[in-house]
Amino acid sequence: MQYSEKVMDHFQNPRNVGKMDDADGIGEVGNAKCGDIMKIYIKVNNGILTDVKFNTFGCGSAIATSSMATEMIKGKPIEEALTLTNKAVVEALDGLPANKIHCSVLAEEAVKAALYDYYKRNGIEPPESLKSCSGCCSSCSTCEEIIC
Amino acid sequence: MICVLYLNRSHEYILNRAEACIMEIYADNAATTAMSPNAKSAMLPYMDEIYGNPSSLHTYGQKAAASLYEFRKTIAYYINADDKEIYFTSGGSESDNQAILTAAKIGERNGKKHIISSKFEHHAVLHTLNKLEKQGFKITLLDVYKNGIVKPEDVRDAIQDDTAFVTIMYANNEIGTIQPIAEIGNICREKGVIFHTDAVQAAGHINIDVKKQNIDMLSISAHKFHGPKGIGALYCRKGIPLYTLIEGGAQERGKRAGTENIPAIAGMAAAFKEACEKIEENTIYVTELRNKLIDELSQIPNSMLNGDKFFRLPGNVNMCFEGIEGESLLLLLDAKGIAASSGSACTSGSLDPSHVLLALGIPAEIAHGSLRLSLSEYNSKEDIDYIIKAVPEVVAYLRDMSPVWEKLQKGEIKYAIQ
């Protein structure tokens, strides 16, 4: 198993690490039994994600995908963040080992969970694309029992 | 302790890094060891001077055959076996496979299809047992309790009329706990049940006496005691007809075909001799390093040692740090020049954490945050000082970005490790 240079860079020098006291939306996905939990905080101003922070419990690629996902949506309009896919995160990191793809799924779900939370807090009906979010990558055997 | 240029290291990502000088500490001796200079020089003549095939009748062959005989005697001597009881194999996994399949064949012939083992064996054992289970064998995997040690009375209680054999490892590869081999050997001998032990982690580190300990079969691997990789041995007590895994020649008394890897066997014999001669000295030195490491790392809040503190291999440290994940810990330590290992799911390719830690009853979320540091006599006191400084820093950094740690601190979830 080999991580790309970009994965190692984002793992060793993660961007946007931290918590946010005045977040407009918070999304947390994953489960400690599976070994990954991602928590993403967003700050929204005039429909733009002016700030994004993350906290992650997980392996190297979990930290790297969190970092990359936050970079990809920071400063972008909400509509653009809604279209973020795990595939795009993987591509931006120059690939992930096959058994680590679930980390990118988790990163996408964490972003969506934060957006969902933002909509809910503001009394806005979330778009359909957010409602399917399971908050779980369903990649490990211990995860099945968790209903998100 | 060596200071090297990052540029000397192979990873591409490191090639681009500017840091000039870091420590380089190898603390993964349970995975493999550096070869001893003695073992290395013992191998060299067998590459280009004494290169004959021991099966050949000419002088070249006979010289090689004479050496092979000496190497076999060396291995036998240090476990108190007869040279005719030593079979060279490609390593621990092959030895385990051959021993288990042998014992299963014998059992099957006598209508005995029950096998006793433990929950935390190496996969070379567990996977072979899975295969046998599919062929109709019943497998009992004994509990290893919280301290990672099998209870001999559990072995006694588990033995039935149709028990074919017992296979229990000598020392665990992840947590280093040493099993009561002599007691288990006694029980098996008394009950007339074959006893195999995977001694891959123990050989060269703990004194082994197959006669006194009533061991019928024992697996060893050279690269765990500063010998070369790809070579190992199986001790099989006289009177137990070994089952042949590899057919095609009369080598190893017809029990393992293929021209003998004499350079590797020479290296293994030299390394085993050296390791066994220095067992007492190395045990004292390495145990001191280990204990210092355990004591200091235990100061990290919400950390714990996995497995019994005293009945463990001299060089094994295995700890869990709550709220973090092992692979990221491992990679950050590597970036600081420390090579360690983890029972983390993420390092193994599967997503479930170490079966060894789960067998101890450690919850999956804690088992993900494990770190194994396995030392050898090649480690210095300075290495330990550096590790003691580096690990708490990395643990604190990862905890700081961990949502699990945040919840623990806020009291939203309860600490599993106090």
The secondary structure of A101-143, three-state, reads HHHHHHHHHHHHHHHHHHHHHCCCCCCHHHHCCCCCCCCCHHH
Q: What is the pLDDT of residue A139?
A: 46
Query: A5-146, what's its fold?
Result: Sufe protein. Chain: A (3.90.1010)
CB pairs under 8 A between A and B: 92
> What share of chain B has pLDDT > 70, as a percent?
93
pLDDT tens by residue, A75-114: 999 999 999 999 999 999 999 998 889 899 999 999 999 9
Number of Cα atoms under 13 Å in the Cβ half of residue B269:
24
The answer to whether the CB of B73 falls within 8 A of the CB of B266 is no
Q: How confident is the model at residue B41 (pLDDT cuts 50, 70, 90)?
A: very high
pLDDT greater than 90 at residue B20: no
CB contact under 8 A, A38 and B349: no
The 8 Å CB, 24+ separation contacts for B330-333 are B330/B371, B331/A8, B331/A11, B331/A12, B331/A60, B332/A12, B332/B394, B332/B397, B332/B398, B333/B371, B333/B390, B333/B391, B333/B394
Q: How confident is the model at residue A31 (pLDDT cuts 50, 70, 90)?
A: confident
B30-46 average pLDDT score: 98
Q: Which chain A residues touch B333 with a CB distance below 8 Å?
A: none
B157 vs B107: CA distance, rounded Å: 19
pLDDT greater than 60 at residue A22: yes
**Secondary structure (DSSP) of B214-256:** T-SEEEEEGGGTT--TT-EEEEE-TTS-PPPSS-SS-GGGGTS
Q: How confident is the model at residue B345 (pLDDT cuts 50, 70, 90)?
A: low
A107 vs A137: CA distance, rounded Å: 10
pLDDT greater than 50 at residue B371: yes
Q: Which chain B residues touch A57 with a CB distance below 8 Å?
A: 323-325, 402-405
Tokens 């030299």 belong to residue: B270
CB contact under 8 A, A59 and B327: yes
pLDDT tens by residue, B272-318: 999 999 999 999 999 999 999 999 999 999 999 999 999 999 999 99
Locate the chain B residue with the closest alpha carbon to A1: B349
Q: How confident is the model at residue B60 (pLDDT cuts 50, 70, 90)?
A: very high
Q: Which chain B residues touch A34 with a CB distance below 8 Å?
A: 345, 351, 364
Decide the pairing of beta strands A36-45 and B2-5. unpaired
Q: What is the pLDDT of residue B102?
A: 98
A52-70 average pLDDT score: 96
Q: Which residue from A33, A37, A58 is facing B328, i.e. has the nearest CB? A: A58
Element (H, E) at B114: strand B114-118
B113 vs B105: CA distance, rounded Å: 9
Q: Using a CB–CB cutoff of 8 Å, tell me whether A139 touches chain B.
A: yes
CB contact under 8 A, B402 and A12: no
The better pLDDT of the pair A47, A127 is held by: A47
B interface residues, A as partner, C-beta within 8 Å: 11-13, 16, 323-328, 331-332, 335, 344-346, 349-353, 363-365, 368, 401-406
Residue B312's SS3 state is strand
The better pLDDT of the pair B371, B5 is held by: B371
Q: What is the pLDDT of residue B23?
A: 86
Distance in angstroms between the alpha carbons of the first and the last residue of chain B:
34
Note the pTM of the prediction, 2 decimals. 0.90
C-alpha closest to that of B169 among B154, B184, B156: B184
Q: What is the pLDDT of residue B348?
A: 60
The answer to whether the CB of A47 falls within 8 A of the CB of A80 is no
Q: How confident is the model at residue A133 (pLDDT cuts 50, 70, 90)?
A: low
Q: What is the pLDDT of residue B353?
A: 86
pLDDT tens by residue, B153-170: 999 999 999 999 999 999
Tokens 């030895």 belong to residue: B95
B33 vs A137: CA distance, rounded Å: 37
What are the strands of the beta sheet with B2-5, ordered from one edge?
B2-5, B21-26, B338-339
CB contact under 8 A, B403 and A17: no
Residues sharing a CB contact under 8 Å with residue B224, sequence separation 6 or more, in sequence order: B29, B30, B32, B33, B92, B200, B201, B203, B204
B121-143 average pLDDT score: 97
C-alpha closest to that of A99 among A145, A35, A147: A35
Q: Which chain B residues touch A55 with a CB distance below 8 Å?
A: 401-403, 406
The better pLDDT of the pair B196, B7 is held by: B196
Residues of B tagged active-site: 346
Q: How confident is the model at residue B212 (pLDDT cuts 50, 70, 90)?
A: very high
A54-59 average pLDDT score: 95
Q: What is the DSSP letter of B278?
A: T
**Mean of per-residue pLDDT scores for chain B:** 93
Displacement of CA A39 from its chain's centroid (Å): 7
> What share of chain B has pLDDT > 90, as a percent?
90
Q: Is the dihedral of CA B80, B85, B91, B94 positive or negative?
A: negative
Nearest CA to CA, how far is B330 from chain A (Å)?
A: 9
pLDDT tens by residue, B87-100: 999 999 999 999 99
pLDDT greater than 60 at residue B389: yes
pLDDT greater than 50 at residue B17: no
Nearest CA to CA, how far is B153 from chain A (Å)?
A: 33
Between B275-279, B345-349, B386-390, the lowest mean confidence (pLDDT) is in: B345-349
Between A128-132, B13-17, B141-145, B248-252, the lowest mean confidence (pLDDT) is in: B13-17
pLDDT greater than 80 at residue A131: no
Q: Which chain A residues touch B16 with a CB distance below 8 Å?
A: 5
Mutate to test the interface with B, among A21, A33, A93, A99 (most CBs of B within 10 A): A33
What ipTM was assigned to the predicted interfaces of this complex?
0.89
pLDDT greater than 70 at residue B7: no
**Mean of per-residue pLDDT scores for chain A:** 88
pLDDT greater than 50 at residue B3: no
